[in-house]
Amino acid sequence: MDRDETKLNFYFCNPPADVSLDDIDHGRLPRHISIIMDGNGRWATSRGLDRSAGHEAGVKSLRETITACVRLGIDNLSAYAFSTENWKRPQREVDLLMALFAKTLVKELPLFHRENVRLELMGDLEALPERTRKTFYRGIEETADHTGMTLALAVNYGSRAEIVRAARELAQECAAGTMDAADIDADAIASRLYTANVGDPELLIRTSGELRLSNYLLWQLAYSEFYVSDLLWPDFDRWELLRAIKSFQSRERRFGGVVSK
């Protein structure tokens, strides 16, 4: 992905003491970064605020992360916004999140246009309230011909549901005679997942210190590098993103093999 050096240096000027752009090898950036944006509720509660204030504050972190990734020239950014299990939350919080998704997307569409970002959604959108669903479809449509970074937002997303859906699709194709069961391989499954266009993330970031996947990209994360940040999502910023990339670049990725020295 092309990057504008002037804009990049400007966006990352005035770095903190421990990390800066110079710590990053621009030739070895992950092509796909994925984030489990966690800790909004704790961020709000620790300030004596309603959990909703945490979700609202989290929008700023996502906006900053999108811009930072565009500046760096990352091809694909994906982010977990609402899981298939999050419906278990109090109805008020669910309603608020659905309204926030719609409001934020409308507000941020100019950013997508300005930065040439293409929006994709991962998850079952049919189960979302009408206004939220329509706003997402509008965002997807309006940004469909953008050629810069792809942002894949996971909403009403669950990895097991995603794999079940792919299995059903393959079974239907076999029943219809358009697919032979013997031809089902890893690529056949991967191409029926929501990530068909963006591929597997090389780097997964989870905020708020939690060490679990919470039903996120179980198939796609098979060989991803994990970076767990202790920051709560509303406190995540461009510098923590650089720390995650720096950590990623210090890892030895072996994919089950042996690295020759």
Residues that bind ligand IPE (CB under 6 A): 36-42, 80-83, 86, 97, 208, 210, 212, 214, 233
Cβ nearer to ligand IPE, comparing 12 with 136: 136
Distance in angstroms (rounded) separating the CA atoms of residues 163 and 102: 27
| Interacting partner of 12 out of ligand IPE, Mg ion, none (Cβ under 5 to 8 A depending on kind) | none
Distance in angstroms (rounded) separating the CA atoms of residues 83 and 156: 5
Applying CB under 5 A, the span of 35-43, 118-126, 150-158, 238-246 interacting with Mg ion comes to 35-43
| Interacting partner of 80 out of ligand IPE, Mg ion, none (Cβ under 5 to 8 A depending on kind) | ligand IPE
Cβ nearer to ligand IPE, comparing 214 with 249: 214
Cβ nearer to ligand IPE, comparing 88 with 261: 88
Selection from 74, 102, 54 nearest residue 207 by Cα: 54
Beta pairing, strands 32-36 & 225-228? unpaired
Least Å distance, CB 29 to ligand IPE, is: 24
Which residues are annotated as catalytic? 38, 86
Least Å distance, CB 37 to Mg ion, is: 9
Report the phi/psi class of residue 209: left, alpha or beta, with left for phi > 0 and alpha for psi in -120 to 50: left
| Other C-beta atoms lying within 10 Å of the C-beta of residue 103 | 15
Least Å distance, CB 256 to ligand IPE, is: 28
Residue sitting closest to ligand IPE (CB): 41
Q: Is 38 in the site for Mg ion (CB under 5 A)?
A: yes
Applying CB under 5 A, the span of 30-38, 58-66, 95-103, 145-153 interacting with Mg ion comes to 30-38
Cβ nearer to ligand IPE, comparing 12 with 233: 233
Strands (DSSP E) found in the chain: 32-36, 76-83, 118-122, 150-157, 203-206, 225-228
| Other C-beta atoms lying within 10 Å of the C-beta of residue 206 | 23
- Residues contacting 131, CB < 8 A, separation 6+: 98, 99, 102
Q: How many residues does the chain have?
A: 261
CA torsion sign for 227, 202, 150, 80 is negative
Least Å distance, CB 259 to ligand IPE, is: 33
Instruction: Kindly list the residues in this chain that would bind Mg ion in the complex (CB under 5 A).
Output: 38
